[in-house]
Amino acid sequence: MALIAILAGDGIGPEVTTQARRVLDALGLDHQFEDGLVGGAAYRALGHPLPPQTLELAHRADAILFGAVGDPEMDGLERTLRPEQAILGLRKALGLFANLRPATMFPGLEDASALRPEVARSIDMVIVRELTGDVYFGDKGRGHTKMGLREGHDMMRYDEAEVARIARVGFEMAKRRKKILTSVDKANVLETSQLWREIVNEVALDYPEVKLTHMYVDNAAMQLVRNPGAFDVVVTGNLFGDILSDQASMCVGSIGMLPSASLNEWTGTCGLYEPIHGSAPDIAGQGKANPCAAILSAAMLLRHSLSDEASAQRIEAAVIAAIGSGARTPDLGGSHSTTAMGDAVLAALQ
Ligand SMILES: NC(=O)C1=CN([C@@H]2O[C@H](COP(=O)(O)OP(=O)(O)OC[C@H]3O[C@@H](n4cnc5c(N)ncnc54)[C@H](O)[C@@H]3O)[C@@H](O)[C@H]2O)C=CC1
Ligand SMILES: CC(C)CC(=O)C(=O)O
Ligand SMILES: [Mg+2]
């Protein structure tokens, strides 16, 4: 029996996580669930966005289903107490360096894409985003210039081991798919990216069967809307991966459709699974959130952390069938509530 920690968080986090939990329950598997406080909800109750008891639960669990954190009322808090520190802290504490973000066009959703249907139809890609380095975790601070102007800095840095291990995840993933890997960087400007490219080329020697292309991030953003079907696996750093994956989500219809897995090794023993979106304060509490990304994250949890491919596929098939039957939340142009969308997925579960 596995222990699944549920960290629902803030805003729409609890709304979408509730639907994912319903789907997991309906599978009738013998797993145990334990809820933990995280983000703004944890700060309100316990004075810290990632309290020790939540961190302890995360370490004890076999896998974590995460909702989202973030609360506009807490934007003024010092950075270390902001709700977002909870997810950053979990990624660092659990060593979750590999973030897999699949973007696939679901049949019937072409019209919801921001792209023309004939362009959108061919999208089937995975963004492999490095998750514990880069400007997100580099030295940061505030100060004043000699002229007395306020300044801020965030250090972008990677060492060769950090680049090599995420590159390997990208190559392994590509090897199992169409054998096309695009490494995205900004090596024409950034020293960090030059090292990135050097190391990716070294790792490539172990994967002669994978076709490797290097692409600058500005071009990648453009190609992602021009010809997204050309991408198979994209490997990139923390910042570029964060931005490109939100962009990829609109190419397949909605940010409410993209799940993710954050792993600390290729097969992942303990992993954290979350929709790529945030707490969406603009729609929180209104029953408008699309729960598909959270439900699909639960499928990734079963696949990567619990080695239960059959159950993962049952969930994915149910989401495809629910979409196929016309179920749509407002972000997809429909009028299903969050719960009604969950109902549609449950009804389609075979
Ligand atoms: N992993 C996490 O917990 C993340 C947390 N955040 C935090 O979330 C808060 C809000 O950030 P935003 O920049 O507004 O990004 P967001 O992803 O929360 O929302 C962006 C837009 O997408 C819409 N949206 C997001 N998820 C949706 C869903 N499931 N169904 C329908 N529409 C959806 C929202 O309504 C909003 O208009 C901030 O505090 C931010 O720091 C942002 C991204 C990731
Ligand atoms: C710390 C999070 C707010 C970063 C983010 O946007 C993400 O991981 O998608
Ligand atoms: Mg993001």
Residue 267: pLDDT band with limits 50, 70, 90: low
CA of 242 to the centre of ligand 2 (A): 7
Best CA proximity match to 168, nearest among 142, 134, 205: 205
What average pLDDT is seen over the chain?
97
What pLDDT is attached to residue 265? 74
**For the chain, percent of residues with pLDDT exceeding 90:** 98
Predicted local distance difference test score (pLDDT) of residue 177: 98
Rounded alpha-carbon distances, angstroms, from residue 96 to 64, 212, 256, 272: 12, 24, 22, 8
pLDDT tens, position by position, 271-288: 999 999 999 999 999 999
Nearest residue (by CA) to ligand 1, atom 31, is 289
| Closest C-alpha residue for ligand 2 atom 8 | 242
Q: For residue 246, give the ligand 1 atom closest to its CA.
A: 17
Task: Give, for ligand 2, the residue of 82, 84, 96 to mutate: max count of ligand atoms closer than 8 Å to Cβ.
Answer: 84
ipTM value, please give it. Answer: 0.99
Determine contact, residues 93/5, Cβ cutoff 8 Å: no
Q: Using DSSP, state whether 136 is helix, strand or coil.
A: helix
Mean pLDDT in residue range 126-136:
98
**Predicted confidence (pLDDT) at residue 268 exceeds the cutoff of 70:** no
Mean pLDDT calculated for residue range 208-213 = 98
286 annotated ligand-binding residue: yes
Q: Whose CA is nearest to atom 5 of ligand 2?
A: 242
Distance, in Å, from the CA atom of 184 to the CA atom of 243, rounded to the nearest integer, reads 12
Identify the residue whose tokens are 């380095």: 133
| Mean pLDDT along residues 133-160 | 98
Helix axes 52-60, 84-93, angle to 10 degrees: 40
Q: Which residues of 264-294 are buried (b: 16+ CB within 10 A; e: fewer)?
A: beeebebbbbbbbbbbbeebbeebbbbbbbb
Using CB atoms within 10 Å of the CB of residue 138, give its burial: 0 to 12 exposed, 13 to 18 middle, 19+ buried. Answer: middle
Domains defined for the chain, CATH in brackets? 1-96+267-350 (3.40.718.10), 114-251 (3.40.718.10)
Does residue 235 contact residue 183 with C-beta atoms inside 8 Å?
yes
Q: Which of 258, 300, 262 is nearest to 123 (CA)?
A: 258
CA 127, 128, 132, 135 torsion-angle sign = negative
State if residue 282 touches ligand 1 by the CB under 6 angstroms criterion: yes
3-state secondary structure string, 156-176?
Answer: CCCCHHHHHHHHHHHHHHHHC
* The predicted structure's pLDDT at residue 139: 97
Residues of the chain above pLDDT 70, percent? 99
Instruction: Tell me the catalytic residues.
Output: 136, 186, 218, 242, 246
CA of 300 to the centre of ligand 3 (A): 18
User: Above 90 in pLDDT, residue 266?
Assistant: no
